[in-house]
Structure 1
């Protein structure tokens, strides 16, 4: 065991986008993991609970003995085969458990018994997670943040995707950041999101000079909260403000939330269930802002949205959604944006349409 490789170079692991074999239980993995990690548990949640109870009642030796009885025979062979297959497919990978203790050491030895020498992460998941929390704080002290701001529908995310020096927080959160931003795919856990953000900053600062450009976000992206230290730095960051005429903004919303989002629901859930789920999600989003709209306006907009979906279904024409989109922008999102922009402490660097903002950023920020 003493001769088997151990790594504690956490920075290099994340910079190299290392692949991980996560040996924790499925429940632990679901609570939080890292990009590039695959769940291949030594024990199930139930087995881990039994071993934990045994440890508390009878001590470590009894718990270890129980673990070996639970993971034995055909079940052990099946799990060892899965670990061997993973290691052969990912010879540059690493394994870890919660703290780099008995679980990862046991699997590392069982792999060695099969002729596979596979490195273990010193300190396990806990050490990697602590490193990322500390590293995000360090990155934010080093980084110069610039925010892309603008009214809803100006295409801020399009600007983010056009700049190599930008990070897509909404992409990492798997949500488009508004009341209507639910995607067909579920959002990651809060810990997964925080880990992804820290890794993205680490990699960006290591690979590129210049500022880190982010889309202006509120405290929440869907159900996920921005790390508080990131939110505070964003509050004071300078702004690039995107301006587009109302009809262009309506077209962007139509493309993003009707055409693209509808296609994604259909692809994931089928051509019957997908459109129904898409419609239901957008109506739920409207219901979620009922109080802010006021009862009468909410009911009128809901009726207009339902009618638009009916017409789209019968005619196959998504343009019928323009009416409720335009009204929602003018009556709800524009006043809210004006208020939120007034709360920002950062100075305005530039104001223009999408292409002008992209050109400014490329010539002035990344020159």
Structure 2
């Protein structure tokens, strides 16, 4: 309360008719009048509403599982009590799912007093998947799921996770789905930042972030064979969940916390860090995780100080035609870091934050990328039995809103 009032108003205001909607409201031990309000709402709303009162479960997974077990519709949507719908949200998402026979539908999300994912809303997509789009960078539960998919696979939220449980659920749904649709031309969901600053993802110890990363990496390993597709998904837990634990704030933390974070990261780096994942990152991201993987806390500190001070790396052209960014320890013999860790990738070119490109360096990079594209084109033309493939610009890099600042805590 009072967010719940606006939330339920937005459901009643839906252009989808009331006889096509049901509300299952789970009161998870609220003490602010929520339970009484829900009972009153259920008694007078034209939308069939069932209210379930239970003791506080300590997280969102339990209530969502209870609600899912009670749901009877063809689709389910997990609506948080402090957020709200756009008026046409359900009508548009259901129509999109029905028209394309897809199992998951994403409706455009915008933030209200907080950030929200952005990189996946470039255009509406009738049918896509987690490998062909940026949807892996929005793994919150606020999606339209075909209920038959969830029932068939016995999908539930992991109640042992206190954060990141929605990422695990949603990614599994993406992987099992017969197609995913994206509604990008209408704001379906308003993600609200509470005035009191209370939010479940901001609470809890940093160890919960490692628990979340571990679970997501294990899921990817179980569902996707090793190779380029797995690497393209592994970028998400590394970039969004693990990397923020080793941001500039790491410099201020106690030696005990720093040591513990490196200990927690080691088995994850040993099991899942690979060249295929590394090359999908920007140089400063890749370099930080390289130092973590090697257990080089001393080098990590130097790089983090460089980033904290907002310094700009120099651009170097190599005799191999590649372009390198001169972050700390580049070609430092004592550090012994391979040049490849500093090599610029296509993603760095598309989203070159923190870098003020000298014209000569930028031109050299563009020429290098064009040469590589031309070489691939020539090779494929010489093999007429195969399709011609020219490297495309990858999807836009995730924004800072997709790597919440609270994860760096």
**Fold shared by both chains (TM-score > 0.5):** no
- For normalisation by structure 1, the TM-score amounts to 0.25
Structure number with greater CO (CA < 8 Å, separation at least 6) is: 1
Q: Which has the larger radius of gyration?
A: 1
Q: Which has the higher helix share?
A: 1
TM-score relative to the length of structure 2: 0.23
